[in-house]
């Protein structure tokens, strides 16, 4: 049990580190927060909410994998190397594909629900399957990671060639 908690702690650290050091991760996080908030207050079906959550998770996951690949490449060489370039460019391309997909998904799901806004009936937030509780928990987790990322930045992040 202690080992499991420790591995969650390391994962939380990793996410906060990526958020503290990667500008693109901060952009994805902010966009994800706004979209999840919209999914909470706007009336959209559960299947569409799962598509939104999946698209967001894909972008954030790939941004973290991209950050990990950048760091491993920088650890192996800080000299220019064609293979280092391929590794970093392909990892960045993976994030780009997921981000374009997420924008398309958000557009297709929200375009007819925002003008005029179709508000969700608040009852549906607290009735099974407790979609409001789920989405608000995700938002709270994102706030917690952001708070931790701010602490990392205030403490002074590790200086590293990748990221900004
Ligand atoms: N060691 C290297 N050898 C060859 N090309 C490199 C090397 N390091 C970086 N590059 C090139 O510079 C680009 C930017 O690399 P960098 O490590 O600065 O990523 P980044 O700008 O921080 O990316 P991101 O915005 O995803 O965080 C890479 O995509 C790659 O084309």
Question: What are the structural domains, with CATH classification, of the chain?
Answer: 13-155 (1.10.287.3610)
Note the pLDDT of residue 58. Answer: 98
77 CB less than 6 Å from ligand 1?
yes
Q: Is 78 a catalytic residue?
A: no
* 63, 84, 131, 138: the active-site residue: 63
What is the rounded CA–CA span in Å between residue 98 and residue 93?
9
Q: What is the mean pLDDT of residues 45-60?
A: 97
Nearest Cα residue to atom 1 of ligand 1: 80
Q: Any residues with CB less than 8 A from the CB of 59 and at least 6 apart, and which? A: 28, 32, 95, 98, 99, 102
Whether 81 is in the pocket of ligand 1, judged by its Cβ within 6 Å, is yes
* pLDDT score for 156: 82
21 ligand 1 Cβ < 6 A: no
Each residue's pLDDT tens digit, 74-115: 999 999 999 999 999 999 999 999 999 999 999 999 999 998
State residue 158's pLDDT score.
56
Across the chain, mean pLDDT equals 92
User: Count of CB atoms within 10 A of residue 119's CB?
Assistant: 10
Confidence band (pLDDT; 50, 70, 90) for 2? Answer: confident
**Does an H or E element contain 150, and which?**
helix 131-155
Within 8 A by CB and 6+ apart from 110, the residues are 38, 42, 44
């Amino acid at each position: 049990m202690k080992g499991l908690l420790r591995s969650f702690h390391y994962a939380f650290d990793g996410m906060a580190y990526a958020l503290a050091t990667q500008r693109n991760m901060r952009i994805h996080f902010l966009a994800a927060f706004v979209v999840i908030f919209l999914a909470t207050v706007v009336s959209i079906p559960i299947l569409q909410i799962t598509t939104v959550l999946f698209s967001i998770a894909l972008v954030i996951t790939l941004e973290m994998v991209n950050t990990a690949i950048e760091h491993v490449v920088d650890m192996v060489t800080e000299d220019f190397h064609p293979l280092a370039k391929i590794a970093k460019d392909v990892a960045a391309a993976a994030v780009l594909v997921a981000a374009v997909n997420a924008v398309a998904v958000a557009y297709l799901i929200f375009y007819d629900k925002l003008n005029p806004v179709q508000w969700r009936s608040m009852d549906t937030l607290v009735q099974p399957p407790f979609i409001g509780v789920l989405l608000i928990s995700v938002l709270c987790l994102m706030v917690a990671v952001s708070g931790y990322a701010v602490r990392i930045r205030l403490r002074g992040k590790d200086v590293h060639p990748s990221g900004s």
